[in-house]
Structures are given as structure tokens and as C-alpha cells.
Amino acid sequence: MAANDYIRHEPDEPVPPLLTLNVAFQGALLIVSNVVTFVVIFAAAFNDDGSYMSWAIVGALIVAGVATALHASKLGRLGPGHILLMGSGIPFLAACVLAVEQGGLALMSSLVIASSLVQFVVAARLAQLRRLITPVVSGVAFMMIALSAMPIALGRLDDVPEGVGDAAGPVVGLATLAITALLRLLGTGLWSLWALPISLVAGCVIAIPLGVYDIQRVLDAPWFDLPQASGWPGFGSVLDEDFWALLLVFLVVSAVVAVRSSSEGAAIQQASRREPRSIDFRGVQRTLNVGGIAIFLSGLAGTSPTIAYLPTTISLIEFTGVAARRVGIIMGALLIVAALLPKVVALLLTIPRPVSGALLIVIMGLLFVEGMRSVMREGLNRQRACIVGTSLAIAVGLQSQNVLADVIGGIWGATLGNGVVFGVLAAVLLTVVLELSSTRSRRLETELDVSALPGIEEFLRRIGSDLRWSQASIDRLHAAGEETLSAMLQLRDDYESDQPPRLVLNARPSSGSAELEFLAVFSEENLEDRIAYLSDQAEEPDVGDVSFRLLGFYASSVRHRKYYGVDIVTVEVEGSRG
């Protein structure tokens, strides 16, 4: 795995107070800008008179603050312990607008709360969904999000007040983009650390003489104000006919968001450390749980659902080199305080749209590259290349011409015709087809104990014989299975029950290789990290390391996924016919 040389502070490392506040302020600024933008777009879609918008901005900022701080904490199954900026987003926008048109904001609130349950279900069943939520599906989601947001970013470049020259917006945007690129490419030390705020300030300064910067809303805003409770929409009845008519749409959108969130939970782990480790899927499950809570709280507040801003987060970490989780906690607190200080929020909102559009272009570019990395993480064979190419082609085509909206019509046409939604669905469906068409797996159930070795040996040798492998290949297959069992037994120290855990061995044979999948429940250590660590050590291993070294020798690849309740070790062994 490639090192993230830009990381200065990992999630659990201490950070100087001033640096913590600096990075937290930058993150809060980005969240505030996005939250208000999406709330304004949402409120404008159903001709709000202004009363709801005031409530929604405060509610959305408070929910974003709670969710961002929760994700940075370590609270059982709720706190992954990583920075992940969160706020209002696009995925639910069309469904929420339709719900408001059909039954009002109260109906929307009830549907948002119901849809949050999908996040918790996916989190609990993530191990069973592992063959659908793959790095390829994740990569397609990232790349499509980036591509779909590019028109939005470009559209901001000419979004200027009335009476301003047509060239003013592009000039401000291009100047901001040039400054950001120069600081990112050539900046070192403090220049690199302050690249984002420097670009924002420089863009605003350039915008002043061109008439793009408006300070009046800051002057008109009070310093402190509490949200008006009259703007809270309340809840609609679940017995309402419109609720059941729209429920499936919200559940589908929530499922797509859950797929994306699982990818984001994995990606932020890789982006937060100097030497990326194997993905801890328990952390991914915690990310999904935080996402579920964020959507649930959004429903309670009567605002459009809060989601993660992965590209913005990765950009912030890369710009600052800080991935310490305490920054996320301070960031969440700043958002809650900002929600109660209208003048501060108004000051942040004076950032011209061309400036934010230029920064969004940079952020989306980083996300697209992250999607490419995700696709390439496990190699790009013929089948994976087909999934990526087909999904992207369909999704990009729908982004430019939504034919489903014309054919299907209504909310289903708008939802399924969305490039991101259909791109992810296409990738999942193609993955299902690949799984169904692959060789049928064979299954052995036993116990995670040394007494299981004879049964595993007979099981694996029978598979090798059925594949007509050479004796040397059959011996290598058996040796890989034996060393996997031995290595898993060494990681059982924390297992406190008198009874050994249940072990399930799934084998997926093919002509040139066999994939062995061991499922069990035991300790905290990761086999994949252990093997990678040993490859860099001296040639005289400890006795306890022998099984790990032998496993790395016999197997062409080893992947270890840890979930709550189950550990999965996948070993691939290559063979040839005799």
C-alpha cells in the first residue's frame, strides 16, 4: 500500500491546540457553506417563504455538528474515531422535494426517519453484503459523485449578483483555482497548511473590485439568536396513504447512500494514516451507524438528510496533513456554536459562489482519484474492468441525458435516472451477475480448533482432485489451508468462551486458482497486517510468526476482514493441472 506522506498527525496522535483550532475552523467553514447551499436549494424548490429556511439552516448545522463530532469519537459501535465532515447533501433532495409537494414537510420528516433504519440494517449485515459492496462498486460510486458534481462546480463560476458583468464570475473562479493549484503544487510548511483559507480569502479579495462580494447580509444579521420553533414542521402520520406510496423511494435512496457510506468508511481509514492498514470493517459498520443517526436526527429536525462529505474531508486532510480525531470533535462543537451565531454564519456565507465553485473543482478531482485507487486496490482483471467501464458509461450517459425521466416519469424517473444512483445500481447488479455465474462454492462447517485439520485437509484435497490439479498444486492448496487455520488459532487469545468458535470454510474453485474463505469469531489482530509487517522484518522470525510467513508463501493473496460478530480471512491459491 502506498504511504500517505502528507499525514502529519494520525487519528490518535496529539495535535497542538492552535493547529487543532485552525483545521477545525477550516472544516467547519466548508460544512457551513455546503449546508446552507443545499438548504437554500431545497427550500427554493417548494417556494418557502423564508420561515422554514431559517429553522432548517440552524437545525441542519446542529445535526451536522453532532454527527461530525460523533464520527470522530470512540463510543462503542457509534464512534469510528476518524475525521469525516458531514452535512446536508444531494442524494435525498429529489425524494424530499416530492414528499413536500405530496404531503408537506411533516410527511418528509416521517419518511426521512423511516429511511434511516436502512443504514442500521446494512451496518448489521455488512459481512453478508461483502460480495456486493466491493472496492469496484465503491470506486464507481466515488468517480460518479465527482463527475456528477463537476457541472455544479462549473455552474457556480458564473453565479454572480445581478448587474455584475458576465466575465466577473469566471475571472474570480479561475483566479481562485490558480491560487489553490499553486499552493497545492508548490506550497510547503505554513503555505501548504493554510492553502484552503488563503485561497478563500484571496478569492474574496479579488471579488471585491469586480462587485461579486456582498457584505450587506453580515451587517444585517444579529450576533446571537435562537431558532424560531414555529419553523419546525413536526411529523406526518405513518397511516397516511402518501407515506406508504413514497416509502419505497426513500428506502431505495437510503440503500444507495448506505453503499456509498460503507465505501466512505473504508476510504477515510486509508486516507487518515501515513501507512494505510487493512480496512477494519467494524469501523465501516460504525460509520454506517453514525450515518443512520445523522439521517434520523435530520428527520427529527425536519431538514433534508445529513450525509458524509468524503471528498471535502480528504481534501482537508491532504491540505493540512492533520487527521487527528480531536479536530473532528472541535469541528462539531464549532458548528453547533455557529448555528446560534447568525452573524458568524452570514460572514461565512458571503463567500462568492465562483470562489466555492473553484474549490469544489479541486475537491472533486481528488475524489475521482480516490475512486480510481479504490478500483485498483484489488487489481483490475477483465471482469472488474467490464463492471467499471459499463457502469461509468451508463452513468455518464444518464448525467448528460436522463432518458429514464422521460420514459418512467415522476420521482422514480428522476431517482433512477440520476447518474450516481444508477451507476451504483448498475455496478451492484453486474457484481451480482458475476457472483451468480461464477463456479458454485463448496462449504465445510467445523470448529476453530486443531482437531478440524483432518477434515479441512480431506476437503481441500478433494477440491484439488476435482480440478485435476497436479500433486504439487494440491499440496500447496492443503498447506495454505493448514497455515491459515494455524494462524487463526494463534489469534484466539482474546476468545474467552470454553467452546471454540464455529468455523465455516467456503471454497470457490476455478481452473487456475481456488479462493478459500474462512469465517470465524476471535481476536483483535489482523492477519493481513501481520503478514505485511513480517515481510519487512529480519529473516529470523519468532516461532509464532512461522505460520504467517508460510501462509504468505503458499497463498497468492490474503485478505482479512473484521466485522462485529465475524472475522473473514480470504486466501487465494494458484494451481495448475497435472
DSSP state of 50: S
pLDDT of 329 > 90? The answer is: yes
User: What percent of the chain lies above the pLDDT cut of 70?
Assistant: 73
437 CB neighbour count, 10 Å cutoff: 8
Regarding predicted confidence, which is higher, 41 or 43?
43
DSSP state of 92: T
* pLDDT at residue 543, rounded to an integer: 34
Q: What dihedral angle (degrees, nearest 10) is formed by the CA atoms of 343, 349, 351, 356?
A: 150
Regarding predicted confidence, which is higher, 199 or 298?
298
Mean pLDDT of 68-80: 87
Mean pLDDT of 155-174: 79
* pLDDT at residue 311, rounded to an integer: 75
Q: Which of 62-71, 308-317, 377-386 has the lowest mean pLDDT?
A: 377-386
pLDDT of 529 > 60? The answer is: no
* pLDDT at residue 545, rounded to an integer: 44
93-103 helix and 17-45 helix, angle to the nearest 10 degrees: 40
What is the distance between the terminal CA atoms of the chain, rounded to a whole angstrom? 35
Instruction: Specify the CATH superfamily of domain 442-574.
Output: Histidine kinase-like ATPase, C-terminal domain (3.30.565.10)
The amino acid at 463: I
Regarding predicted confidence, which is higher, 288 or 236?
288
* pLDDT at residue 330, rounded to an integer: 94
pLDDT of 429 > 80? The answer is: yes
> Under a CB-based contact definition with an 8 Å cutoff, are residues 266 and 55 in contact?
no
* pLDDT at residue 410, rounded to an integer: 62
What is the Cα–Cα distance from 152 to 443, expressed in whole angstroms? 49
What is the Cα–Cα distance from 136 to 431, expressed in whole angstroms? 9
Mean pLDDT of 58-65: 91
Regarding predicted confidence, which is higher, 8 or 214?
8
pLDDT of 406 > 70? The answer is: no
What is the Cα–Cα distance from 538 to 224, expressed in whole angstroms? 62
Per the structure block, which three cell numbers stand in for 151?
457541472
Confidence of residue 172 (pLDDT cuts 50, 70, 90): confident
Confidence of residue 570 (pLDDT cuts 50, 70, 90): confident
Confidence of residue 293 (pLDDT cuts 50, 70, 90): very high
Q: Which of 320-324, 373-377, 404-408, 416-420 has the lowest mean pLDDT?
A: 416-420
What is the Cα–Cα distance from 573 to 67, expressed in whole angstroms? 43
CB pairs under 8 A, 24+ apart, for 49-57?
51/228, 51/230, 51/231, 52/105, 52/231, 52/233, 54/227, 54/228, 54/231, 55/227, 55/228, 55/229, 55/230, 55/231, 55/232, 55/302, 56/231, 56/301, 56/302, 56/303, 56/304, 57/339, 57/345
Per the structure block, which three cell numbers stand in for 177?
483555482
Confidence of residue 63 (pLDDT cuts 50, 70, 90): very high
* pLDDT at residue 227, rounded to an integer: 62
Per the structure block, which three cell numbers stand in for 38?
443545499
The pLDDT tens digits for 459-517 are 888 888 888 888 888 888 888 888 888 877 776 654 555 667 788 888 887 767 788 88
Residue found by looking up cell 447518474 in the block? 419
Query: Could you tell me where the beta strands, DSSP code E, fall in 357-499?
Result: 442-447
Q: Which residues of 304-320 are buried (b: 16+ CB within 10 A; e: fewer)?
A: bbbbbbbbbbbbbbbbb
* pLDDT at residue 384, rounded to an integer: 80
What is the Cα–Cα distance from 87 to 269, expressed in whole angstroms? 20
* pLDDT at residue 62, rounded to an integer: 92
Its pTM stands at 0.63
User: If you average pLDDT over every residue of the chain, what do you get?
Assistant: 76
The pLDDT tens digits for 433-451 are 877 776 567 888 888 888 8
Residue found by looking up cell 512461522 in the block? 546
Mean pLDDT of 546-551: 53
Q: What dihedral angle (degrees, nearest 10) is formed by the CA atoms of 480, 483, 485, 487?
A: -130
* pLDDT at residue 53, rounded to an integer: 76
Confidence of residue 333 (pLDDT cuts 50, 70, 90): very high
Residue 252 CA, chain-centre distance (Å), reads 17
Instruction: Name every residue whose Cβ is closer than 8 Å to that of residue 472 and which is 6 or more positions away in sequence.
Output: none
What is the Cα–Cα distance from 171 to 124, expressed in whole angstroms? 49
Confidence of residue 229 (pLDDT cuts 50, 70, 90): low
The pLDDT tens digits for 97-141 are 767 877 788 888 999 999 899 888 888 877 767 666 677 776 777
* pLDDT at residue 531, rounded to an integer: 45
Mean pLDDT of 173-188: 80
Q: In what order do the strands lie in the sheet with 442-447?
A: 442-447, 502-509, 513-520, 566-574, 557-563
Per the structure block, which three cell numbers stand in for 112?
426521512
What is the Cα–Cα distance from 275 to 205, expressed in whole angstroms? 39
pLDDT of 533 > 50? The answer is: no
Mean pLDDT of 410-430: 70
Rg (CA), the chain: 26
The pLDDT tens digits for 335-346 are 998 888 777 666
Side-chain-side CA neighbours of 276 within 13 Å: the count stands at 18
β-strand partners of 243: none
Mean pLDDT of 203-228: 74
The pLDDT tens digits for 370-403 are 678 777 766 677 778 888 888 888 877 877 776 6
Q: What is the largest CA-CA distance in the chain?
A: 83
Mean pLDDT of 221-233: 68
pLDDT of 276 > 80? The answer is: no
Confidence of residue 166 (pLDDT cuts 50, 70, 90): confident
Regarding predicted confidence, which is higher, 4 or 571?
571
* pLDDT at residue 552, rounded to an integer: 61
> Under a CB-based contact definition with an 8 Å cutoff, are residues 422 and 405 in contact?
no
Regarding predicted confidence, which is higher, 53 or 526?
53
Instruction: Name every residue whose Cβ is closer than 8 Å to that of residue 480 and which is 6 or more positions away in sequence.
Output: 516, 551, 554, 555, 571, 573
Mean pLDDT of 543-558: 58
Per the structure block, which three cell numbers stand in for 547?
505460520
Domain boundaries, the chain: 17-370, 442-574
What is the Cα–Cα distance from 270 to 317, expressed in whole angstroms? 12
* pLDDT at residue 501, rounded to an integer: 77
Measure Cα distances from 24 to 306, 358, 414, 476 in Å: 19, 21, 36, 52
- Phi/psi at 563 (5° precision): -125, 170
- Phi/psi at 504 (5° precision): -115, 125
Confidence of residue 349 (pLDDT cuts 50, 70, 90): low
Which H, E and C letters describe 142-169, residue by residue?
A: HHHHHHHHHHHHHHHCCCCCCCCCCCHH
